[in-house]
Amino acid sequence: VTTRHPGRWAAAAGVGVLLAMAASALITNPAWDWAVVGEYLFAPSVLNAVLFTLQLTVLGIGIGFLLGTVLAIMRLSRNPLLSSVAWGYVALFRSIPLILQLLFWYNLALLYQRISFGIPFGPSFFDIGTMDLISPVTAAVLGLGLHQAAYCSEIVRAGLLSVDPGQREAAAALGIPWRRQLFRIVLPQAMRSIVPTAGNEIIGLVKGTSVVYIMALPELFYQIQVIYSRNGRVIALLLVATVWYLIITSVLSVAQHYVERHYARGRR
């Protein structure tokens, strides 16, 4: 006899009704301006803004994971100075809101008008104006990358700690060099734990790039604001941004799924 689940069917019916109501509200309400959404969805200015958003994401997450991996290794070091510096970096950059970090880098010239390069505590070989060295785009990339590094460091550290210490001990007993142990034995196993959280962090950064609108950079959210401030179609343009963010995050979610499946092969 097939088990009956009346509660399950009632819940499904309730959810179906709610979905139908939501769809009806989206389709029948003319205030959504779907014609305007279609007009601007693939507009050149919007597509350029989407491309710039992706560029910021790639640069930010690239710097974040490169520096974060170094910080994670420093945090796991037995040297108290290296471990303390890595811990301090993570504590500092996780405590300061991203928008403040971006504004700091954007206004760095107020602190240092020129930046010199040379021997530490010795003579400098040359210097350059801070405004010339750190443009608004550079400030945005630095702010996003250094901010992400604090979170990426903890992601990588957790992944490294998830690997059985016996793996490293066995590799050391075989005389395998430390770098080979890290890149050929430890990291491939750690990726099983790193990839899911890293995927979420990348998706979060895609949306986090919208914060750079305060620097008047033409990323997606800023460009949408510029357009609706001219034509007054606020809701329609916000829907355009929503659609593009949904597309980007959906593609990244699918990619994350296949990467996770790749690194999970050893468990089968």
Task: State the burial class of residue 189 (Cβ atoms within 10 Å of its Cβ: 0-12, 13-18, 19+).
Answer: middle
pLDDT at 58: 94
Select, from the ranges 30-34, 80-84, 107-111, the one with the highest average predicted confidence (pLDDT).
80-84
Of the two residues 1 and 3, the one the predictor is more confident about is 3
Distance between CA atoms of residues 252 and 240, nearest Å: 19
pLDDT confidence bin for 153, thresholds 50/70/90: very high
Distance between CA atoms of residues 133 and 45, nearest Å: 27
% of the chain beyond a pLDDT of 70: 98
The yes-or-no verdict on residue 267 having pLDDT over 60 is: no
Instruction: Kindly report, residue by residue over 198-255, the tens digit of the pLDDT.
Output: 899 999 999 989 899 888 888 999 999 999 998 888 899 999 999 999 999 999 999 9
pLDDT at 154: 92
Structure token pair of residue 39: 């007009």
Instruction: Kindly report, residue by residue over 8-28, the tens digit of the pLDDT.
Output: 889 999 999 999 998 888 888
Of the two residues 116 and 157, the one the predictor is more confident about is 157
- Those residues whose C-beta lies under 8 Å from the C-beta of residue 172, and which sit 6 or more positions away, are 181
pLDDT at 190: 84
pTM: 0.83
Of 251, 238, 248, 254, nearest to 41 by C-alpha is 238
- Mean pLDDT for 74-99 is 91
The neighbouring-strand residues paired with 128 are 115
The yes-or-no verdict on residue 268 having pLDDT over 70 is: no
The DSSP string of 80-134 is HHHHHHHHHHHHHHHHS-HHHHHHHHHTGGGT-SEEEEESTTS-EEEEEEHHHHS
User: Which stretches of the chain are DSSP H helices?
Assistant: 6-28, 34-41, 44-76, 80-95, 98-106, 130-133, 136-161, 165-173, 178-180, 187-208, 220-231, 234-263
Structure token pair of residue 180: 């080979």
pLDDT at 266: 57
Neighbours of 56 (CB within 10 A): 24
Instruction: Kindly report, residue by residue over 25-47, the tens digit of the pLDDT.
Output: 888 888 888 888 889 999 999 99
- Mean pLDDT for 84-94 is 93
pLDDT at 238: 92
Structure token pair of residue 214: 């305060």
Structure token pair of residue 110: 């107020």
Tokens 């170094």 locate to 70
Mean pLDDT of the chain: 87
- Mean pLDDT for 92-97 is 91
pLDDT at 83: 92
- Mean pLDDT for 133-160 is 90
Do the Cβ atoms of 250 and 238 come closer than 8 Å? no
Distance between CA atoms of residues 205 and 148, nearest Å: 8
- Mean pLDDT for 89-98 is 92
Q: Cα 35 to chain center, whole Å? A: 32
The neighbouring-strand residues paired with 116 are 127
% of the chain beyond a pLDDT of 90: 42
The yes-or-no verdict on residue 123 having pLDDT over 80 is: no
